[in-house]
Amino acid sequence: MVQMHENIVGIDASILMHPTTWKASGHVDAFNDPLIDNKDSKKRYRADVLIEDYCAKIETKIEKEVKKAAKRFGEAFNKEEFLTTNARVLGYQEKINTILNRLGKSLENEDLADVKKLIEELEIADPLTGSKNWTDVKQFNLMFGTQLGASADSAMKVYLRPETAQGIFVNFLNVQKTGRMKIPFGIAQTGKAFRNEIVARQFIFRMREFEQMEMQFFVKPGTQQEWYQKWKETRLKWHLSLGMGADNYRFHDHEKLAHYADAAADIEFKFPFGFKELEGIHSRTDFDLKAHEEFSGKKLQYFDHEENKNYVPYVVETSIGLDRMFLAVFSNSLQEEELENGTTRTVLKIPSVLAPTKAAILPLVKKDGLPDVARKIVEDLKWDFNVSYDEKDAVGRRYRRQDAAGTPFCITVDHDTLQDNTVTIRHRDTMEQKRVNVQDLKKIIFEEVAVKSWLMKM
């Protein structure tokens, strides 16, 4: 997002900012989540998430119908046609739409009584205990607070940032002026965000301390829809470039828009527990910059030389959880594979560009000078790639270890290497083995693992 785009620059803003920042952004007063308690289990849940999980279960039923039909019709099966014509599937889909529409409307109108009514009508039970004994739905603020200052009397209440975006907004003019950026341009950052999530679960899907990768793209007012569409496409293309399968992604266009947005969509990924938000793309209007102008009393405007006038830019945001992205990659990549000889192997088919170790160098045996040659190859490759050396156990077991760790290449040094300077290179996914010259290793590995090779495929 930064290195490959001339008009996007990086920043590292503070985690603790002046508390007025969060007044201006709406996080103190307007960003509240609807929560509901179960009176029997004393557990607290996000009411909207309970309803969305209920819909996800209906979706699983649709997927089951698709699987059954695919089995029944074999090659003649047309998924698109089935989804748009099968009465049972259409019924399920209509039910989901009706529920989500009603939830969207109730939240928009702040009709929390109707959210509770919906939970009761759907007979949603506490996922842990099965109890349906619910309290009313209440609003709850998700920011973590702390104190700034040594003495209790003068201490000021500050918050850990719940999103990195506001650090970009308050620095907008500093970056624009010092970087001499012209609209349209973006500011991006990777950094920690903190939310007092009520239910932090599903491994690292929802955490209280997590890492966001966000970009705010500043545009001329009136052009935001065009940029919103462009960023939706660009970001989906980026996800697809990882090769995790187009069927695993979909857009979810928001019915209920946050107070700052005039359009919003999620890129959802099919996690092992269903389709869930992975990234958000939001057209945030000029809400944030205007609010910071108002609360700080300082102008946050851009002088457009072409138009010869000042204005507050509109913003299109892309926002993705780094940890959640990791979970998507990891859950999709870790596979148990049946081999032709009837055995199985665990293989982490992580995109090579992301693999923590790019190659493992393995001497066939621990004698006859093979470890020395292998070590020399490690010494040569480690300037360019993360590589590892492994001499323990039979070579087959070493291959399996590297497969499970996602290492794209295993390079085996044997007795022929001493004669002709060639090694066997084995690919993690195909398990194909080739004899190559040691001098060619760098080029072969680079072609597979380089960011360039991956991005050029986009």
Q: In terms of CB distance, is 192 or 309 closer to ligand GAP?
A: 192
Segment interacting with ligand GAP (CB under 6 A) among 18-26, 33-41, 84-92, 275-283? 275-283
Three-state secondary structure string covering 279-309? EEEEEEECHHHHHHHHHHCCCCCEEECCCCE
Per-state percent for the chain, helix, strand, coil, to nearest 5: 40, 25, 35
Which of positions 203-222 make contact with ligand GAP (CB under 6 A)? 206-207, 210, 212, 214
| Residue number closest to ligand GAP, CB atom | 321
Assign residue 252 a region: left if phi > 0, alpha if psi is -120 to 50, beta otherwise? beta
Q: Should residue 161 be labelled a site residue for ligand GAP when binding is judged by CB under 6 A?
A: no
Among 277, 304, 380, 384, binds ligand GAP (CB under 6 A): 277
Q: In terms of CB distance, is 137 or 278 closer to ligand GAP?
A: 278
Q: Should residue 279 be labelled a site residue for ligand GAP when binding is judged by CB under 6 A?
A: yes
Give dist(CA 424, CA 397) in Å, integer.
Answer: 16
Minimum CB separation of residue 297 from ligand GAP in Å reads 24
Total residues interacting with ligand GAP, rule: CB under 6 A: 19
Cβ(249)–Cβ(194) under 8 Å?
A: no
Site string for ligand GAP, 378-397 (x = CB under 6 A): --------------------
Minimum CB separation of residue 389 from ligand GAP in Å reads 36
Q: In terms of CB distance, is 323 or 448 closer to ligand GAP?
A: 323
Q: In terms of CB distance, is 210 or 409 closer to ligand GAP?
A: 210
Among 197, 262, 304, 391, binds ligand GAP (CB under 6 A): 197
Among 21, 171, 319, 332, binds ligand GAP (CB under 6 A): 319
Q: Should residue 292 be labelled a site residue for ligand GAP when binding is judged by CB under 6 A?
A: no
Q: In terms of CB distance, is 263 or 445 closer to ligand GAP?
A: 263
Note the residues at the interface with ligand GAP (CB under 6 A): 163, 165, 195, 197, 206-207, 210, 212, 214, 277-280, 317, 319-321, 323-324
